[in-house]
Amino acid sequence: MPAASLDVRGLSAGYGQTHVLEDVSFSVPAGGRLSILGRNGMGKTTLMATLMGLTRRYAGSIGVDGRDVTGLRTTGRARGGIGLVPQTREIFKGLTVEENLFVGLKDRPRRAIEEAYALFPRLGERRRNLGSQLSGGEQQMLATARTILGQPSILLLDEPLEGLAPVICDMLMAAFAQLASSGAMTILFVEQRLESALDFAEEVIILERGRIVWAGASAALRADGAVLERYVGVGGLH
Amino acid sequence: MAQASAPMAAATPARDLGRDLAGLALILAAGLAGYWLFPDNLSFLTRLISVALLVLSLDLIVGYCGIASLGQAALYGAGAYAAGIACLNGVTEPFLLILIGAAAGAVTGLLMGTVMLRAHGLPQLVLSIAIVQLLHEAANKAAWLTGGSDGLAGMVPAPLFGLFEFDLWGRAAYLFGLGLLVAVFVALKLLVRSPFGMVCRGLKEDPLRVSALGISAFPVLLRMFVISGAVAGMGGALGAISTQVVGLDSVSFELSANALVMLVLGGLGNLYGALIGTVVFMAVEHVVAAIDPFHWMTLVGALLIAIVLFAPRGLSGTLDEAARILARRPRRAGP
């Protein structure tokens, strides 16, 4: 499935009666990269979940390559090309690495899991281990690889580096860069590590209390210490 | 980074294959030992194989998919009645009767799954009970077809391969059943290890995550229900061929509940567990009921309480754990 454009218009969503996102609009061209920044609790994860159809939507629309997917359920959106790697990873802990990857294959042949091992060689070494036996970094690799095997045209990465050692973060970022440079998918990247987020994407949006308060090029944000201080809590970057 | 414990990490495809072959050899050896050691109990042992197929089928939906069911005998009974009716109407070839049983079980599984998969948890369990009770009542009322409370009798299957009669001693039926069990077991091993089997286990663990991977639960679970029905139907057909009688007990709630008890006893989500649970339950029932026909259920109940309290993963889980501990010992003893 080739990379697809994403067009979000006036999206409001939340949980039950609680509105978390308000009138969120942005676009990402096919093959583009967008980082989503903001302090904790500002709606970044809710945005990812809403794009995947996992929350309650009150208003707005979501378009993939010009096709409206707003009315589709989670399964339909996944089939339509959206793939989410959730913050909580949610691997199947009772299955081995290889078995987890089998679940992500859908109708693809078994040999396709070699793509996952090529992207994350460490998973190949651990293929017979149960999910419960993996470190946090390995779980993140597995969650990412399992989603990638479904060949999404839009990949949503929700805080993939959270709580991981720097060396593992570097490995993951290298893999994400490889995926992005392949041009096979559009990538939305939610991350608290500012340097990683700005290095990864050309464009950035910042969420504050469920609304987009800043949108623009990552180079422009890098140079704007006042915006970073106000919305991200970081005074400036080296 | 945390490292996995070495014994768990050591599994390899070669070791898996070795374990599978050893497991199959053990089943065959135990089966043949039963043939030589208990020549006067071959009818009971064939009944045990027939019920083992039922429990294996239950494991597919309960153990691997997390579907609550107390109505699995509906599928077993459908197979038994279909084979019995076919046999009385001139279809006597045993392999064909097994296929008819499998087809009847699969069709019943399709219908039962379509209804049951609309609900979850306790409502699903209640639906399964309702379905088996409905079928039980239908079999009772349709006496012109099923023999009602008298059951079907007088079936005479053709000799196996045209040579071996299904006689009173039950030798042909037993060996036929053993061959069928081994073939089904191998097929189910391949099934639960396939990507389809992994999706089923994923659905049991986290259905929302599976749906986020673009997989609809309903068709996957329904397919497993149909396969489960085919296996249970084969068990029912084997029972019909070997006993040459099909009664209402083959489509009863009691049989469904016993099958679930056997599965819990042996260990859910483990095909060996289904076999171990069936053997232990039926052996205890057979031996203890002969000693004390009035209170044998007390011992079975006590056994079940002990298993649930002290071995919550069932007998197979406990054996697995013991094997793991034993495998760890030489490593610790090493330099």
Strand order in the sheet with A82-85: A82-85, A154-158, A186-190, A33-37, A203-208, A211-217
The strand pair at A56-64 and A6-15 is best described as antiparallel
Let me know if residue A124 belongs to a domain.
no
Region B1-13: what's the mean pLDDT? 43
| pLDDT at res. A237 | 54
Residues from chain A contacting residue B12 (CB–CB below 8 Å) = 128
Let me know if residue A103 belongs to a domain.
no
How far is the CA of A114 from the CAs of A81, A102, B73, in angstroms? 21, 11, 42
Residues from chain A contacting residue B214 (CB–CB below 8 Å) = 75, 78-79, 106, 150
Q: Cβ–Cβ of B212/A105 closer than 8 Å?
A: no
What the block records as the tokens of A58 is: 């009150």
Cβ of B114 under 8 Å from any chain A Cβ? no
Confidence of residue B332 (pLDDT cuts 50, 70, 90): low
Work out the minimum CA distance from B324 to partner chain A, whole angstroms. 15
Residue A67 identity: R
Closest residue to B1, CB basis, from A90, A105, A135 = A135
Confidence of residue A236 (pLDDT cuts 50, 70, 90): low
Helix-, strand-, coil-residue percentages of chain B, each rounded to 5:
80, 0, 20
Let me know if residue A122 belongs to a domain.
no
**Partners of B246 in beta bridges:** B152
Residue with tokens 């499998």: B102
Confidence of residue B3 (pLDDT cuts 50, 70, 90): very low
Q: Which residues contact B131 (CB under 8 A, 6 or more apart)?
A: B71, B74, B112, B115, B116
Residues from chain B contacting residue A126 (CB–CB below 8 Å) = 4, 9
Residues from chain A contacting residue B209 (CB–CB below 8 Å) = 86, 90, 92
Region A10-20: what's the mean pLDDT? 91
Let me know if residue A54 belongs to a domain.
yes
Q: Which residues contact A159 (CB under 8 A, 6 or more apart)?
A: A44, A45, A87, A190, A191, A192
Region B251-270: what's the mean pLDDT? 94
Let me know if residue A201 belongs to a domain.
yes
Cβ of B292 under 8 Å from any chain A Cβ? no
| pLDDT at res. B295 | 80
Q: Cβ–Cβ of B201/A95 closer than 8 Å?
A: yes
Confidence of residue B1 (pLDDT cuts 50, 70, 90): very low
Total domains in the fold of chain A: 1
Helix-, strand-, coil-residue percentages of chain A, each rounded to 5:
40, 30, 35
Q: Which residues contact A217 (CB under 8 A, 6 or more apart)?
A: A202, A203, A204
DSSP state of A202: S
Confidence of residue B330 (pLDDT cuts 50, 70, 90): low
Region A167-193: what's the mean pLDDT? 92
Region B69-88: what's the mean pLDDT? 97
Residue A209 identity: R
Q: Which residues contact B269 (CB under 8 A, 6 or more apart)?
A: B59, B63, B64, B201, B204
If you compute the radius of gyration of chain B from its CA atoms, what whole number of angstroms results?
Answer: 20
Q: Is the pLDDT of residue B7 over 80?
A: no
User: How much is the mean pLDDT over chain A?
Assistant: 92
Residue B246 identity: V
Confidence of residue B292 (pLDDT cuts 50, 70, 90): confident
Let me know if residue A65 belongs to a domain.
yes
Residue with tokens 């945390």: B2
User: What is the enclosing helix (H) or strand (E) of A33?
Assistant: strand A33-37
| pLDDT at res. B15 | 72
| pLDDT at res. A16 | 85
> How many Å apart are CA B48 and CA B52, to the nearest integer?
6
Compare A238 and B153 and report the one with higher pLDDT. B153
Calculate ∠ Cα B95-B98-B101, nearest 5°: 155
Let me know if residue A106 belongs to a domain.
no
What the block records as the tokens of B262 is: 């056997």
Q: Cβ–Cβ of A84/B202 closer than 8 Å?
A: no
Q: Which residues contact A228 (CB under 8 A, 6 or more apart)?
A: A194, A221, A234, A235, A236, A237
| pLDDT at res. B167 | 80
Residues from chain A contacting residue B192 (CB–CB below 8 Å) = none
How far is the CA of B239 from the CAs of B51, B58, B81, B155, B248, in angstroms? 8, 17, 10, 12, 13
Cβ of B1 under 8 Å from any chain A Cβ? yes
Give the CATH number for residue A210: 3.40.50.300
Q: Cβ–Cβ of A95/B208 closer than 8 Å?
A: no
Share of chain A above pLDDT 90, in %: 77
Confidence of residue B5 (pLDDT cuts 50, 70, 90): very low
Domain coverage including residue A200: 6-92+153-232
Q: Cβ–Cβ of A165/B205 closer than 8 Å?
A: no
Q: Cβ–Cβ of A75/B216 closer than 8 Å?
A: yes
Q: Is the pLDDT of residue B8 over 80?
A: no
Let me know if residue A218 belongs to a domain.
yes
Do residues B199 and A101 lie in contact, with contact meaning Cβ atoms separated by under 8 Å?
A: no
Closest chain A residue to B16, measured at CA: A128
Work out the minimum CA distance from B214 to partner chain A, whole angstroms. 4
Region B142-170: what's the mean pLDDT? 88
Q: Where are the beta strands (DSSP E) in A82-190?
A: 82-85, 154-158, 186-190
What the block records as the tokens of B20 is: 């599978």
Q: Is the pLDDT of residue A68 over 80?
A: yes
> How many Å apart are CA B93 and CA A214, to the nearest integer?
77
Q: Cβ–Cβ of B213/A133 closer than 8 Å?
A: no
Share of chain B above pLDDT 90, in %: 70
Cβ of B14 under 8 Å from any chain A Cβ? no
Cβ of B213 under 8 Å from any chain A Cβ? yes
A–B interface: beta-carbon pairs under 8 A: 86
Do residues A39 and A234 lie in contact, with contact meaning Cβ atoms separated by under 8 Å?
A: no
Where is average pLDDT lowest: A215-224, B122-131, B283-292? Answer: B283-292
Work out the minimum CA distance from A124 to partner chain B, whole angstroms. 12
